[in-house]
């Protein structure tokens, strides 16, 4: 699975806002999204016009539809990392 080659069980979780996150923070966001959606894999979606910001997460291997509360939780996690300055992207505090 990749964002460029989505499969039938993939879904794009689009954020309501864009969040400036360094690339190492991708790992934490992808892991978090994968765990809370119970998906097989996850990949951050970066803005084409400004790759320093994340606009959502692409998940694949979903066994069930994603609830709105879970999508909001993933965006809250991204927002929190952006506010705290997730330089290393590690550690779900």
Residue 44 lies in a domain: yes
Looking at the domain assignment, is residue 93 inside a domain? no
Q: Is residue 67 part of a domain?
A: yes
How far apart (Å, rounded) are the C-alpha atoms in residues 71 and 61?
16
pLDDT at 87: 52
- Please indicate, yes or no, if residue 78 is contained in any of the structural domains: yes
pLDDT number for residue 23: 82
Number of domains in the chain: 1
Residues of the chain with pLDDT under 50: 88-89, 91-93
Question: pTM of the full predicted structure?
Answer: 0.84
Q: Is residue 5 part of a domain?
A: no
User: Residue 37: which domain range?
Assistant: 10-83
């Amino acid at each position: 699975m990749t964002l460029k080659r989505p499969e039938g069980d993939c879904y794009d979780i689009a954020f309501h806002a864009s969040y400036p996150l360094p690339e190492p923070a991708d790992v934490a966001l992808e892991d978090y999204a994968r765990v809370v959606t119970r998906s097989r894999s996850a990949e951050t979606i970066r803005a084409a016009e400004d790759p320093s910001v994340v606009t959502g997460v692409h998940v694949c291997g979903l066994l069930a539809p994603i609830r709105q509360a879970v999508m909001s939780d993933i965006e809250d996690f991204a927002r929190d990392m952006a506010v705290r300055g997730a330089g290393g992207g590690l550690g779900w505090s």
